[in-house]
Chains A and B, each alone.
Chain A
Amino acid sequence: MLRRASMLLARRPILAARARPFSTDLPAAPSADATFTEAWTKVIPNMDPPKTPLSFMQPRPPTPSSIPSKLTVNFVLPYASELATKEFANPCYDLIPVFKHSILSLFLLIVPATTGQMGVLPGHVATIAELKPGVLSVHEGSEVTKYFVSSGFVFIHANSFADIIAVEAVPLDRLDVNLVQKGLAEFTSKLSSATTDLEKAEAQIGIDVHSALNSALTG
């Protein structure tokens, strides 16, 4: 009897885990609830069913069956949009399938996520990543554009659209090395003289940001 019970217990979670699909496997989300509209038309055939919040939402883009050849990037700030629906195509993808990262016409977006530098190519799995202060680099063929991003988020959708939102993003040549080093020294001393948790956190943030700025300018 005890053996049966342990078998039953062991079986349940496995079934449950297999029944729940990964969110990346889901098809495009439906924009209207079919059961509701059927039930409505049965009872009140003359009136249109009311719109639910679901019908106002854009459906989730479906995961395409083959890797798309381009990555569309939106890079926006509160006061400007750096890249607005800029498409980056990788034409060499199909011609030379072995050398996926052909040096001739490579597009790569390197994003400073809190979990480390993340590279984004067309066909990247849908991801939401929080950004830490760091360098965002856009490699288009042989040209590289680098921006220092203060913080923000990057959303990569299943259909290879990437949305990067940041509060402040500046090209590296607009940063002043002396101010960065002065700031780093100032915050290091503030950390050692900080008393409350909040002051310590602020000083630590200052150190993180300034050391990221420093390595962006010198590295």
Chain B
Amino acid sequence: MTSNAAVPFWRAAGMTYITYSNICANLVRNCLKEPYKTEALSREKVHFSISKWTDGKPEKPTIRSDSPEE
């Protein structure tokens, strides 16, 4: 089997495919015309809370209201 040929520049910089794909999608969404742009951005908003568990008990949760740029 041949070794992998030249890796794409984003993988060489340590980015995974899914990060790359999400960045591309966000950039395209930011270039939309007005009514479509607000629809797209509101569709992609996420709001979630994360809590780490230690010794079987959840610690204090952090609420993340992520805007799609990040």
State the A residues within 8 Å of B (CB): 79, 133, 148, 150-152, 167-168, 170, 174-176, 179-180, 183, 197-198, 200-202, 204-206, 209-210, 213
How far apart are A158's CB and chain B's nearest CB, in angstroms? 23
Known contacts A170-B36, A174-B36, A200-B13; A205/B24 CB under 8 A: yes
Is B32 in contact with A170, judged by CB distance below 8 angstroms? yes
B49 to chain A, nearest CB (A): 23
| Known contacts A151-B25, A167-B22, A168-B25: A175-B31 contact under CB 8 Å | yes
Q: Name which residue of chain A comes closest to B8, CB basis.
A: A114
A-B contact list, 12 entries, CB within 8 Å:
A167-B21, A167-B22, A167-B24, A168-B24, A168-B40, A175-B31, A183-B30, A183-B31, A201-B10, A205-B20, A210-B31, A213-B31
Asked if A150 meets B21 with Cβ closer than 8 Å, knowing A133-B28, A168-B28, A179-B31, the reply is yes
Complex Cα distance A79/B40, Å?
10
Contact flags B10-30 to A (C-beta < 8 A → 1, else 0): 101111000011111101111
- 8 new A-B contacts at CB < 8 Å, known A198-B14, A202-B15: A133-B24, A150-B28, A168-B25, A179-B30, A201-B12, A201-B13, A201-B15, A213-B28
B32 in contact with A176 (CB, 8 Å): yes
Main secondary structure of the interface of A (DSSP, over half): helix
A165 shortest CB reach to chain B, Å: 10
Interface size on B, residues (CB 8 A): 23
Question: Which single residue of chain B is at the shortest CB-CB distance from A199?
Answer: B13
Q: Whose C-beta in chain A lies nearest to the C-beta of B20?
A: A205
| B47 contacts A by Cβ under 8 Å | no
Number of residue pairs spanning A and B whose beta carbons lie under 8 angstroms apart: 74
Which residues of the partner chain A approach B57 to less than 8 Å between Cβ atoms? none
Inter-chain CA distance A201–B28, complex, in Å, is 17
What is the CB-to-nearest-CB distance from B48 to chain A, in angstroms, rounded to a whole number?
Answer: 17
Known interface pairs A174-B32, A175-B33; A150-B10 also in contact (CB < 8 Å): no
User: Whose C-beta in chain B lies nearest to the C-beta of A180?
Assistant: B31
Residues of chain B contacted by A200 (CB below 8 angstroms): 13
Residues on A with beta carbons closer than 8 Å to the beta carbon of B12:
197, 201
Q: Are A175 and B32 in contact (CB under 8 A)?
A: yes
CA distance A183 to B10 in the complex (A): 19
Among B12, B13, B34, B36, the most chain A Cβ lie within 10 Å of the Cβ of B13
